[in-house]
Amino acid sequence: MSRVAGPFRVSNDILDDPAALRERIADEGYLFLRGLQDKDKLRALRRDMLEVMMAGGWLVAGTDPSDGIASIEARCAEGDVEYTGVYHDVYKLESFHRSGHWDEIVDVIAKIVDGHVLPHPSKIARLWFPQYTEHTTPIHQDFVHFQGSYDTYTVWTPVGDCPIELGPLAVIPRSHKIDTVMEHHFSLGAGSLAIHEEDLSGEWLSNDFEVGDTLIFHSLVVHQALPNDTEDRIRVSLDNRYQAFGIPIAEQMLIPHLSNLTKTYGWEDVYRNWETEDLKYYWKDYDLDVSEKITTWSQTGFDEAVELAKQGDERARHQLERIVKRDLDDENTRTAVEVLATL
Ligand SMILES: O=C(O)CCC(=O)C(=O)O
Ligand SMILES: [Fe+2]
């Protein structure tokens, strides 16, 4: 990527001024808030999540799970079946889902949307291995994945300190003002869809995150992750989505993240060992305006991968191979099998 031009603007000074927060995010597309979330709660969550990763074989045995020291042989990325298995164990943590409902987050989103807040049921964590940078989240706008309404906000939170070399997010301020979804193409990076750098103008902003620091941005803001360039540390983060009531939410936000990559994972699996009831199916109490998933962008990405694989592109071939390994019964899987057989 082109280098980071500078740090985020810190907006803590306007935290108590809802109109100013709304104006700033409408203008710049993002808000960066130092220490918004409680450091101790995040550290406890970090331990919970990393203990599951240790049990899943992702961390070096005998190390402190909270240090997040990755076992490089276990490395995998979102989209791989190996990733989904451990990820879906992390996803069962009650503490992980509860963190998406913490008051400090919901309160600031309530100011931004000027109303009651719906935290999306589909919470998301990103567990990014080091020395695997071809899988870094590429340049994109969130709307291609999460859809529903443009007025949806992402809250990105590192679970632990996240210095630049561990690969926090970078954004292009004001990029949401294009007010439309840009063209997205096949990518091997997380999410599988990327905007081409040559289609963009504007400067990238990012900086070191300390635990508790929080980035909030609009669904059309162009962003990407920076590569995890550490030798051995896993990057753990949350990116949850929030919106006002009364606007559409896409159907895929009502199911567990990445359950579309498996045959059987559902909320009953997530909830099996929970000790409390209040967050189970909490959204079913509301009359939501649910919109159908739009598959155009992901299908374009897949079709491009097919064409590229036929032309000998190794990344595209790898993409088709990982799709086949998921062993799903769908058209794209059958196409991937056929194409790979001809290579
Ligand atoms: O954490 C990442 O690498 C991806 C996160 C992202 O794209 C988002 O929060 O929207
Ligand atoms: Fe994103």
Residue 223 covered by a domain? yes
Parallel, antiparallel, or unpaired: how do β-strands 249-250 and 290-291 relate? Answer: parallel
Same domain, yes or no: 282 and 307: no
Same domain, yes or no: 270 and 327: no
Same domain, yes or no: 53 and 146: yes
* The amino acid at 82: E
Same domain, yes or no: 206 and 328: no
pLDDT at 3: 86
Same domain, yes or no: 77 and 223: yes
Q: Which of 255, 276, 292 is the last residue of a domain?
A: 292
Distance CA 273, CA 278 (A): 14
Q: How many CA atoms lie within 13 A of 286 on its CB side?
A: 19
Buried/exposed 51-87: b ≥16 CB within 10 Å, e otherwise: ebbbebebbbeeeebbebbbbeebbbbbbbebbbebb
Q: CB of 156 closer than 6 A to ligand 1?
A: yes
| Residue with CA nearest ligand 1 atom 10 | 142
Among 237, 240, 241, name the best residue to mutate to test ligand 1's pocket (greatest count of ligand atoms within 8 A of Cβ): 237
Calculate how far, in angstroms, residue 140's C-alpha sits from the geometric centre of ligand 2: 6
Ligand 1 atom nearest residue 167's Cα: 3
Same domain, yes or no: 273 and 315: no
Residue 7 covered by a domain? no
Same domain, yes or no: 103 and 30: yes
pLDDT at 158: 98
Ligand 1 atom nearest residue 140's Cα: 7
Residue 45 covered by a domain? yes
Residue 89 covered by a domain? yes
Distance CA 66, CA 70 (A): 11
Which SS3 state, helix, strand or coil, does residue 129 take? coil
Ligand 1 atom nearest residue 142's Cα: 10
Same domain, yes or no: 211 and 328: no
Calculate how far, in angstroms, residue 205's C-alpha sits from the geometric centre of ligand 2: 15
Q: CB of 214 closer than 6 A to ligand 1?
A: no
Q: Token match 């799970």: residue?
A: 65
Q: Which of 292, 316, 331 is the last residue of a domain?
A: 292
Residue 130 covered by a domain? yes
Same domain, yes or no: 308 and 333: yes
Same domain, yes or no: 326 and 197: no
Which SS3 state, helix, strand or coil, does residue 157 take? strand
pLDDT at 203: 97
Each of the 343 residues of the chain gets a pLDDT tens digit; together they read 668 999 999 999 999 999 999 999 999 999 999 999 999 999 999 999 999 999 999 999 999 999 999 999 999 999 999 999 999 999 999 999 999 999 999 999 999 999 999 999 999 999 999 999 999 999 999 999 999 999 999 999 999 999 999 999 999 999 999 999 999 999 999 999 999 999 999 999 999 999 999 999 999 999 999 999 999 999 999 999 999 999 999 999 999 999 999 999 999 999 999 999 999 999 999 999 999 999 999 999 999 999 999 999 999 999 999 999 999 999 999 999 999 999 9
Residue 5 covered by a domain? no
CB 124 within 8 A of CB 257: yes
Q: Which domain holds residue 311?
A: 295-343
CATH of the domain at 131: 2.60.120.620
Number of domains forming the structure of the chain: 2
> What's the predicted TM-score (pTM) here?
0.98
Calculate how far, in angstroms, residue 6's C-alpha sits from the geometric centre of ligand 2: 20
Same domain, yes or no: 173 and 250: yes
Residue 2 covered by a domain? no
| Residue with CA nearest ligand 1 atom 5 | 239
For residue 303, give every residue at least 6 positions away whose Cβ sits within 8 Å of its Cβ, in sequence order, or none: none
Q: Please state, in angstroms and as integers, the Cα–Cα distance from residue 75 to each residue in 56, 133, 204, 209, 327, following that order.
A: 11, 11, 28, 24, 20
Residue 3 covered by a domain? no
Distance CA 192, CA 188 (A): 5
Q: CB of 190 closer than 6 A to ligand 1?
A: yes
Same domain, yes or no: 67 and 118: yes
